[in-house]
Each structure stands twice: as C-alpha cells, then as structure tokens.
Amino acid sequence: MNDTVKRDNRRSFPLFLLVILLSAVLGAAAGFFSAMAADRGTLDAIWAGLDRLMEVITPWAIPVCSAVLLIPGFVLYRAAKKGYAAWDQESDDAYQRMEDQLSYALLLSSLVVLTNLFFLAAGFLYADILTNALCFLVSMGLMMVLQQKVVDQTRRMNPEKKGSVYDVNFQKKWLESCDELERAQIGQASFRAFKAANGACAALWLVLVLLSLVANIGLLPILVAVLVWGVLQVSYTLGCIRLSHRGSR
C-alpha cells in the first residue's frame, strides 16, 4: 500500500508542479503588464461609466429582475402541478420532468435572492432607499410564496417528505425525511458545489490581487474573499470529521 501511495505521488507530482509554475508565471505576467498598461485617466473613466450605469439601472433592477426570474418560476410550478394532476402513475419520464420543473423553479427563486441582495445594497448609493427597500420586500415575499408552493407540491408528489418552508428547522426535517439514495445525491451535489466554490474563490482572489495593482481598492475586498474561502474550507473539513465520528459510532 505504501509503495502504491508513493508511486501515485511520484506520477502526479510533475504535472502538479508544472500547473503551479505556469499559473505563477501567467499571474505574474498579467499583473506586470496590467500595472504597466494601467492609465489613471482610463481607470477613472471606467469607474465613472460604471457609476452612471448603476444610477440608471438600480432604481428598476429589483422589479425587472424579479419579473424576469419569478414569472418563469411560477410557470414551471404550474406546469409541474398540472402535469402531476394528469399523471398516470406509470410514466417515469413524466415524473422526472415534473421534478426537474420544480427544481428549476427553486433555482430561479435562489437567483432572485442574489439579485435582490445585490441591488438592495446598490440602492443605498444609487437609488431612493425607501422605494428600493419596498421593492425588495415585495420581491422577497413573492419569492417565499414560490418556494412554499414548490415545496408543497414536492411533498404532494412525495408523501414521505416532511417540513414547511416557514419552519426554522425546515432543512433538518427535510433531510431526515430523505432516503439513503437522496442523501447520497445531496452529498454528491454538495461536493460539486464545494469544488465550484473553491474555484470561484481562487479566481476571485486572483482578480482582486491583480486589480489592487492597478486601482486603489485596498485589502478589504481581498480579506473578504479569503474569509469566505476559509469558512468554506474549515466548515467542510470539520463537517467531514464530525460525520466520520458519527459513522464510526
């Protein structure tokens, strides 16, 4: 076993080292040329243009994004509900299509939350605060209605599922009502999300470091990115440790 471990490490290390060296060279080159090519007047013009763009779109962003995302979400929910009512209890493809429709409806509701949070923060700088906050509350209320209807429909299709979206322990109760296959699927999806988030954090850190060379953004954005990355790594590792102890018992 030890020989196999050493052999695998020797086989993989050269490619790993090459990737690290190429990444370092490309990062250094990008930073150097960005610093050389940066012109303060150009950067100021870019920031001024972004400010004007945000001033135009922010007052309307929450209502427009909510309509673009929530309307298709409700359409998907209605399609799944109508399909289940007409389901013959035999076609697996039809059932899978309904589950996909509900899943995409939930995805759209999650995107509503992200866009709302961003433009709520932008509203403190570029829009009327009270109007923007009112639009935020209305949009979040509609988002909660969509999520509640999707979860309720999922429970009708799967009577063994438990939990209400308005319950503070909803996620725990929902997970406890899942069978082993569903929990395995959740675990696989979570690991993929962990890998994607790791890649996103690394890319964000690199972009912020390069941006700090050409613009006075300070260390706070970089610190925030590293903190998010650290929370991701620590929570995942501690979760694995806790679950391994639970499994040994």
* 3 occurs within a structural domain: no
Do 26 and 63 have their domain in common?
no
Q: Looking at residue 69, what is its pLDDT?
A: 96
* 134 occurs within a structural domain: yes
Q: Which two tokens stand for residue 30?
A: 């990008």
Do 68 and 34 have their domain in common?
no
Do 95 and 62 have their domain in common?
yes
**Quick one: which of 155, 153, 161 has its CA closest to 177?**
161
Q: Looking at residue 38, what is its pLDDT?
A: 53
Counting as low any pLDDT under 70, the low residues of the chain are: 1-3, 5-10, 12-13, 15-20, 23-44, 246-249
Q: Looking at residue 208, what is its pLDDT?
A: 87
Do 214 and 160 have their domain in common?
no
Do 86 and 161 have their domain in common?
yes
Number of domains in the chain: 3
N-term to C-term CA, the chain: 27
Do 187 and 77 have their domain in common?
no
232: which DSSP letter?
Answer: H
**Exposure string over 31-61, b if 16+ CB within 10 A, otherwise e:** beeeeeeeeeeeeeeeeeeeeeebeeebbeb
Do 133 and 74 have their domain in common?
yes
Residue 237 domain boundaries: 179-244
Q: Looking at residue 25, what is its pLDDT?
A: 64
**Quick one: which of 49, 51, 47 has its CA closest to 214?**
47
- Global pTM reads 0.76
* CA dihedral over 46, 51, 53, 54, signed as positive or negative: positive
- Structural domain ending residue among the three candidates 143, 159, 177: 177
Q: Looking at residue 248, what is its pLDDT?
A: 47
> If residue 69 lies in a helix (H) or strand (E), which one and from where to where?
helix 40-85
Do 161 and 100 have their domain in common?
yes
Q: Do 248 and 242 meet the contact criterion of CB atoms below 8 Å apart? A: no
